[in-house]
Amino acid sequence: MKKIELEIVAVSHSITQTHSYAVVLGEINGLRRLPIVIGAFEAQAIAVVLEQIPPTRPLTHDLMKNFMGAFNVDLMEVVINDFQEAIFYSKLVCISEHDKVEIDSRTSDALALAVRFGCPIYTYEHILDAAALSVDDDGNDATAAKDVGTTGTTKPSDNNDLRLLSLEELQKLLEEVLENEDYIRAIAIRDEINKRK
């Protein structure tokens, strides 16, 4: 299978879920975005590297990088290789002087290591088909309906309320939350839309 390279576009705090974040991966030379829910610790571990904020003491992912470096192991790439029941699965492709090894990893940890090693992040077409959001050249959601014929949009308080909305209302709501960069909420709406297809 052909690998598709991704880059980290943003790390966004969830407005709707406390202690939850989304790291948004963008397709290089493409318009699809892959939002992945991560914990606060992992979001911080990614953000300090992206923002070039040196921690006073090594974080866990810094320790991991230092440990690998001490034994001449390099992280060559991260591959998001599966997506099942709204969970992303990843592997670390590591190389040493004599060996190449693939190690199973949580995607949040894999991304925190990728930014430290400066290695590429990849995924596959079927994962983007299942979980990505498409945006147009102006950064707006290209999958959302542009004219749904409604005045105002209901803003459900939780994911159960999404089931009460029509497909057209869901697509309009998806457009609105993407404009507000609430990627956590966008994931829930996208998943509800996918259930109906």
Distance of CA 87 to the CA centre of its chain: 11
Nearest of 155, 164, 165 to residue 185 by alpha carbon: 155
Domain borders along the chain are 3-131, 139-195
User: Amino acid identity, residue 132?
Assistant: A
What is the average pLDDT score of the chain?
Answer: 83
pLDDT in tens, 156-192: 344 558 888 888 888 888 888 777 766 667 777 888 8
Q: Which residues pair with 95 in a beta bridge?
A: 74, 100
Average pLDDT over residues 112-131: 96
Would you say the C-alpha torsion 110, 116, 119, 121 has a positive or negative sign?
positive
Q: Is the pTM of this model over 0.95?
A: no
pLDDT tens per residue across span 29-49: 899 999 998 988 898 899 889
Pairing of strands 20-27, 32-39: antiparallel
User: 46-50, 58-62, 144-148: lowest mean pLDDT where?
Assistant: 144-148
CATH number for the domain formed by residue range(s) 3-131:
3.10.690.10
What is the DSSP-derived secondary structure letter of residue 127? Answer: H
3-state SS, residue 145: coil
The DSSP bridge partners found for residue 12 are 22
Q: What percent of the chain clears pLDDT 90, i.e. is strictly above it?
A: 48
pLDDT at residue 183, as a whole number: 64
pLDDT at 156: 38
Residue 115: the pLDDT is 97
Name the strand (E) or helix (H) holding 13.
strand 3-13
